[in-house]
Amino acid sequence: MLPSMAITPPHVHQINVSDGGVPKLPVPEAYITVQGVAGDRQRSAQYHGGVDRAVCLYSLEVIEALRTEGHAVAPGSCGENLTLAGLGWARLKPGDRLRIGTDVRLEVSSYTVPCKQNARWFVKKDFMRMSHKKHPGWSRLYARVLAEGKVRRGDSVTVEEDNGAGP
């Protein structure tokens, strides 16, 4: 079970990019555009990237909980661009908005379907351990970019939950 209370203020723990595939490697800062994170590339545009899947998000606390189960996951290994810490991850859902640092605004667009490229990090190759359908609250999230800008490690993260009232 995931911790229900955050013990650190919500922030960007790590920014991750790659030239395609996983793991994505840490960088100290990156520019985020409506097309995604500058310097990052996805191996399959059919399943990853595009304006509705511009940024992949994951939780440091979920990664740590998966590690306690024996999985060899680490920040960036699951293909997320931003590893976030201190959030009530299981409560985040499509429609919620996040402000990162002073400029960047994201809107959660969907839960991320687990990718077989992540099997190597999981005990018995059970990468479906990250499936929202099988394990709600343990999935990565995709986000669209509402406001572009630079993100840096340590930037604050503020959640604006979707109340159903629209933009």
Q: How far apart are CA 127 and CA 130, in angstroms?
A: 6
pLDDT of res. 118: 87
pTM: 0.89
Render pLDDT for 129-154 as a digit per residue (tens, 0 to 9). 999 999 999 999 999 999 999 999 99
Q: Is residue 78 part of a domain?
A: yes
Q: Is residue 166 part of a domain?
A: no
The rounded percent of the chain whose pLDDT value lies above 70 is: 87
Q: Is residue 4 part of a domain?
A: no
Q: What is the CATH number of the domain that holds 71?
A: 2.40.33.20
Render pLDDT for 63-122 as a digit per residue (tens, 0 to 9). 999 999 999 999 999 999 999 999 999 999 999 999 999 999 999 999 999 988 889 999
**Burial letters 37-66, b for 16+ CB under 10 A, else e:** beebebbeeeebbbeebbbbbbbbbbbebb
**Contact between residue 112 and residue 133 where contact means Cβ atoms under 8 Å apart:** no
* Mean model confidence pLDDT for the chain: 90
- Confidence tier at 4 by pLDDT (50, 70, 90): very low
Domains: count for the chain: 1
Per the structure, the complete domain to which residue 139 belongs is given by: 11-160
The answer to whether residue 47 scores a pLDDT higher than 60 is no
Q: Is residue 2 part of a domain?
A: no
Q: Is residue 167 part of a domain?
A: no
